Chains A and B, each alone.
Chain A
Amino acid sequence: GAVVSQHPSWVICKSGTSVKIECRSLDFQATTMFWYRQFPKQSLMLMATSNEGSKATYEQGVEKDKFLINHASLTLSTLTVTSAHPEDSSFYICSGRKTGDNYGYTFGSGTRLTVV
């Protein structure tokens, strides 16, 4: 089955620094990558949608200059949290989908970010 490898699985960083999260589709070409954030005891909230080679589309209320998304290839998408603050501490999850597959949303294993 389709696999999305997400790294790191957890990271602790100091306030004001930047953190990069990577998602790689191992056995399919993820033309679209969705990035979600999940706070404790809450559901997944979609942050942005990125298509390979295009700029990401951000959901309302998500700062595009703070959460930089790069989807330069069909197998790699990255999310960089810039100038991280404690309120950015959350569980970040990516989900890849290939062209024409309306039902195949493959989730990464998630990244637990803690900003201290």
Chain B
Amino acid sequence: QKEVEQNSGPLSVPEGAIASLNCTYSDRGSQSFFWYRQYSGKSPELIMFIYSNGDKEDGRFTAQLNKASQYVSLLIRDSQPSDSATYLCAVNIRYGNKLVFGAGTILRVKS
């Protein structure tokens, strides 16, 4: 079982719609969870992180964490073509305090 799993996509949504990205993780002791956006050929850029159960909102982005079910999600409201990218879920694995990444979900926002 992979430590962090994501659906590779691509996920296609029309402009203005809500994009929903999901991620599951295996280490129940994981403490913090991150969403990054990566454009082709570029380094990942942080969207937001979450460490408490529930929702955390930042502008058009909402991260949701459910530790009991070991999943974390990212909602993007009012999706824009510029949001088209690969979205990486990363989990702070308890051992070694290191970030482990999922395979990423490709998001395509069509205008």
A residues touching B (Cβ–Cβ < 8 Å)? 6, 32, 34, 36, 42-46, 49, 57, 91, 93, 95, 102-103, 105, 107-110, 112
User: Are A49 and B43 within 8 A (Cβ)?
Assistant: no
* Contact mask for chain B residues 57-82; partner A; CB cutoff 8 A; 1 contact, 0 none: 00000000000000000000000000
A112, B92: Cβ atoms closer than 8 Å:
no
Known contacts A102-B32, A107-B45; 13 further A-B pairs (Cβ under 8 A): A6-B43, A43-B101, A43-B104, A45-B101, A46-B101, A103-B32, A103-B34, A103-B51, A105-B34, A105-B46, A108-B43, A109-B42, A110-B42
Known: A44-B88, A107-B44. A102 touches B97 (CB 8 A): yes
Contact of A43 among B34, B49, B51, B102 (CB under 8 A): B102
**Given A107-B44, A108-B43, A112-B41, A42–B32 Cβ distance below 8 Å?**
no
The size of the chain B interface, using a CB distance under 8 A, is: 22
B40 to chain A, nearest CB (A): 10
Q: Are B49 and A103 in contact, with the CB atoms below 8 A?
A: yes
